[in-house]
Amino acid sequence: MSIVADVLMLAGGLIAILAGVGLVRFSTPYARFHAAGKASPIAFLVAALGASLTFGPGGAGLLLVAAAAMTLTLPVGVHLLFRATYRTGDNSHLTIDELEEPASAGRTRS
């Protein structure tokens, strides 16, 4: 069982390294957020699965709580980073911009 756990933890680490390479290599902030937002929870879940096989039921329960918290909160955090980047950055590179307001419509925030 420890060989399976070691392979899972190593695979999680490799996925995390690939996410880091994506953060460095991608040119737009949107692509960078996508690389970090998709790969990091998968890397954590794979590594946590391997670690839970090593730690037994007590450690597996704590890792399950951490995995649930990450799975629930990370998409919201990445979405907020996307919104902040869209609102403050240059979006001229977007070919289709569904969030762009029409020229005649003004912002009405209260």
The string of pLDDT tens digits covering residues 38-84 is 888 899 999 999 998 888 888 888 888 998 898 889 888 988 988 88
33-60 burial, b for 16+ CB within 10 Å, e for fewer?
bebbbbbbbebbbbbbbbbbbeeeeeeb
pTM: 0.74
Residue 106 binned pLDDT confidence (cut-offs 50, 70, 90): low
Q: Report the pLDDT averaged over residues 8-28.
A: 92
Residue 21 binned pLDDT confidence (cut-offs 50, 70, 90): very high
| Tokens 């954590």, located at residue | 44
Decide if pLDDT at 7 tops 90.
yes
CA–CA gap between residue 30 and residue 85 (Å, rounded): 8
The total of other beta-carbon atoms located within 10 Å of residue 86's CB is 15
pLDDT of residue 47: 92
CA–CA gap between residue 81 and residue 76 (Å, rounded): 9
CA–CA gap between residue 43 and residue 46 (Å, rounded): 5
